[in-house]
Chain A
Amino acid sequence: MNIALLIQAAMRYSAPVLLAAVGALFCDCAGVTFIILEAQMLLGCFFAVIAGYYFQSWAAGVLCAVLASILLGWFFVWITMKMKAIELVVGFAINFLIDGLTIYLLRMVFHQTGSFVSPEIPAIPRITVPVLSQIPLIGNLFYQQTWIVYFAFLSVLIAAVLIYHTSFGLHILSSGANPEAAKAVGIHIGQTRIQCIMIASVLCGLAGSQLSIGFLSMFSEGMTVGKGFIALGALMFSNRKPALVLFITLLFGFAEAIGNQVQLSGTIASELVLMIPYLAVLACVFVKKPIPEQI
């Protein structure tokens, strides 16, 4: 088992999921059921590739991905807050919508179906942190990842500080815990919730662009394969603690990475190995029951 490769692979897998989970954390604390993580990530994936291809710049790709996710976030705000629709229902509908929309746009814009691969799609450059990557074991955490991956881990810290140590955080927590009391005190819960949704949108846009032009340099229909829902799962087990969100997401990341290496060693049947990530989820259930009202 190559520990260095394991750590790097776990980080790569965890980063997009972590970004989405942190975004969902903000929303959950504010009392918003933010179920469109998957859709926003997929939209981010697609627009990162489109913009990157047309502007020949990964930065343009990331920017467009974030903008597209923000637009979708606004749509969600409009439908759930202005139109007073039920978040859960709308969320699932949007997930289907965006899946179909990206497929449709892929055919319209690129005249491709299935996937879009081209040497002209720019990839986000990899960075190795100079001094820290030399440290024996931990150094692998700082080796050859994109800035989005590093930011993903940083975002957990930022979320912890913002939510639990600032007045903005207090507004968020009270909007979620007791909206009536918050309104009585003069906190604008609508505005707070919108801000959280926007934060989550930006993070999901980054997650999507990491997936399509950070790790890979292509777009494939449905390429998020449920990572948005895995992020929600991580959130459910975390009891709104950023540290737990990080831990559980990393757990899933390591489960995937270990699974790959175990397959290589050939000791266990592949069907059992491919179950490892799901066993990790089950393990979480046994350790801590997910709290229903959190989603």
Chain B
Amino acid sequence: MKRASSMILATMMAATLCAGCGNSNQGTAGTQATTTAAPESTAPKADDAESAPTETEGEKTKGDLKAAFITPQALGDGSVTDLSYSGFTKAAEEFGMETQVVEVQVGEYEETLRSMAQEGYGLLICLQPELVDAVCTVAPEYPDILFFSMNGEINDIPNVLGSANKEQEGSYLAGVAAALMSETGKIGAVIGQDMAQNNRYAAGYEDGAKAARPDIEVSILYAGTFEDPAKGKELALTLYNSGYDVVYQVAAKTGLGVFEAAKELGEGHYVVGCDVDQSPLLPGQVIGSQITPYDTWVYAAMKDYGEGKFTGGRTEAFSMNRTDGAGFDFDSTGKITYKDGVKEAVEDSKSKIMSGEIVPESVREKDK
């Protein structure tokens, strides 16, 4: 019995070694996660599918297009990764591209990029600043392969297109809305990590809040992790119990804890969502969400690749101007009653940002 069990176990262990040799999954288009409202609403309309160009110079024929989607954060976060993926699949379907999805672990970034390049994928969509170093190392080795660094700033490598978010713009509008909706005059935010990119959200939020209501008190708390909803809930409870009635969450899974805290404390405790419309998560308590149309970014890069118009060597700044004013969405469930003037103030700030009259802060006071 013992020998038989050992043999079985040993065989199972050997079998798992073959697990990496099969075809990787293609993933499903979009996501059924309850944590997000339809990301499709922010992607371009389906009509564009018919107008795929047929005669641009250098355009690849259908069979040639292969694109890979490489992400350090797993699909299913209901936010950034899923949204980017929806843009990816939309373009892939439109142009008939062969696709591959890889969720990479730390330490495997370069190998994965190299193996994708060697397998003939013409465009590698690499998500998040974590992959920037790997892209900078690997891209020059494969000058004929195109790289798109989503949320990573890379200049001067001819086959790499970087992208930068202007999260402070949408966050500015979030700050305006939060400050004007707050009854107590105190608003807060729970941020994932104390780092430059995350702090742009915080800086814009503080800037917008103070502009809308100079006597507002703003408190920013850092969780130190994106994976711990319990911590997010504790931080949010600390804020709510100290009189802060609106909390902006910028912390992925940790941020889900903020919704839990608001749900537990009930009416009068508001949340501002991040990156996607999160009002369906807690109808009646989400006054709006900052929007980053990652799907538009990825779609734009894929479209350029499909049409042969991809130009690298620079970083594209996806400001509100570039994405048709996507930056902040109000509650979509209809359960929030906005105070007089809130929506107008937000729209007004939005047009001023797009015209350049207002330039939201991207660096927090403490870091200057």
Q: CB within 8 Å of B: which residues of A? A: 2, 5, 9, 12-13, 82-83, 103, 107, 111-118, 211, 215-218, 220-223, 225, 256-257, 260-261, 263-264, 266, 269-271, 273-274
Contact B77 A114 (CB under 8 A): yes
Which of A13, A113, A257, A264 is close to B75, meaning CB atoms less than 8 Å apart?
A113
Could you jot down 30 A-B contacts, CB within 8 Å?
A: A2-B241, A5-B241, A9-B238, A12-B234, A13-B234, A82-B2, A103-B74, A107-B76, A112-B33, A112-B34, A113-B33, A113-B76, A114-B76, A114-B77, A115-B33, A115-B35, A115-B256, A117-B259, A211-B230, A216-B233, A221-B74, A257-B234, A260-B234, A263-B221, A263-B238, A264-B219, A264-B238, A266-B219, A269-B366, A270-B194
| B51 neighbours in A (Cβ, 8 Å) | none
The distance from the CB of B284 to the nearest CB of chain A, in whole angstroms, is 12
Q: Which residues of chain A come closer than 8 Å to B237, judged between CB atoms?
A: 5, 9
Asked whether B222 lies within 8 Å of A115 as measured between CB atoms, the reply is: no
Determine if A216 and B227 form an interchain contact, defined as CB atoms under 8 angstroms apart: no
Residues of B near any A CB (own CB < 8 A): 2, 5-6, 9, 31-35, 74-78, 194, 219, 221-222, 224-225, 227-231, 233-235, 237-239, 241-242, 253, 256-257, 259-260, 281, 366
Tell me if A118 and B34 are in contact (CB < 8 A).
yes
A-B contact sample (8 more), CB < 8 A, given A113-B76, A114-B35, A221-B253: A82-B2, A83-B2, A114-B33, A114-B253, A118-B34, A220-B256, A225-B231, A264-B221
Which residues of chain B are within 8 angstroms of A215 by Cβ–Cβ distance? 230, 233
- Cβ contact of A223, chosen from B2, B222, B230, cutoff 8 A: B230
Residue of chain A at shortest CB distance from B27 = A113
The listed residue (B5, B32, B77, B221) touching A260 by CB distance below 8 A is B221
By beta carbon, the residue of chain A nearest B28 is A111
| Residue from B6, B194, B256 in contact with A83 in the complex, judged by beta carbons closer than 8 Å | B6
Let me know if A218 and B256 touch, CB within 8 A: yes
- The docked-state distance in angstroms from the alpha carbon of A222 to that of B32 is 20
Q: Which residues of B contact A256 (CB under 8 A)?
A: 234
Q: Are A270 and B256 in contact (CB under 8 A)?
A: no
The answer to whether A112 and B32 touch across the interface, beta carbons within 8 angstroms, is yes
9 nearest CB pairs, A to B: A113-B76, A114-B76, A270-B222, A274-B224, A114-B77, A260-B238, A225-B228, A270-B194, A263-B221
- Taking CB atoms, residues of chain B closer than 8 Å to A260 are 221, 234-235, 238
* The residue from B32, B239, B259 contacting A264, defined by CB atoms under 8 A apart: B239
Contact A217 B260 (CB under 8 A): yes
In the complex, A260→B77 CA distance in Å? Answer: 25
Residues of B within 8 Å of A118, CB to CB, are: 34
CA distance A117 to B224 in the complex (A): 22
Instruction: Pick the most buried of A5, A112, A114, A216: most chain B CB atoms within 10 A of its CB.
Output: A114
A273 and chain B: residue at smallest CB distance? B222
Q: How far is the CB of B343 from chain A (nearest CB, A)?
A: 27
Which residue on chain A has the smallest CB distance to residue B31?
Answer: A113
- State whether B227 touches A5 (Cβ < 8 A): no
A225 CA to B235 CA in the complex, in Å? Answer: 16
How close is B6's CB to chain A, nearest CB, in angstroms? 7
A118 CA to B280 CA in the complex, in Å?
11
Contacts known (A264-B242, A266-B219); A117 close to B35, Cβ less than 8 A: yes
Asked if B238 contacts A216 (CB within 8 A), the reply is no
Kindly report which residue of chain B lies nearest to residue A120, judged by CB atoms. Answer: B34
Are A216 and B241 closer than 8 Å at their CB atoms? no
Q: Are B33 and A5 in contact (CB under 8 A)?
A: no
Q: Report yes or no: A225 in contact with B225, Cβ–Cβ below 8 A.
A: yes
Q: How far is the CA of A83 from the CA of B33 in the complex (A)?
A: 41
A234 to B351, CA, bound (A): 56
Q: Is the CB of B227 within 8 A of A222?
A: yes
* Complex Cα–Cα for A111 and B242 (A): 38
B260–A114 CB distance below 8 A: no
Which residues on the A side are within 8 Å of B233 (C-beta)?
A: 215-216
A113 adjacent to B74 (CB under 8 Å): yes
Q: A9 vs B338: C-alpha distance in the bound complex, in angstroms?
A: 33
Q: How far does the Cβ of B33 sit from chain A's closest Cβ, in whole Å?
A: 6
Complex Cα distance A273/B74, Å?
A: 29
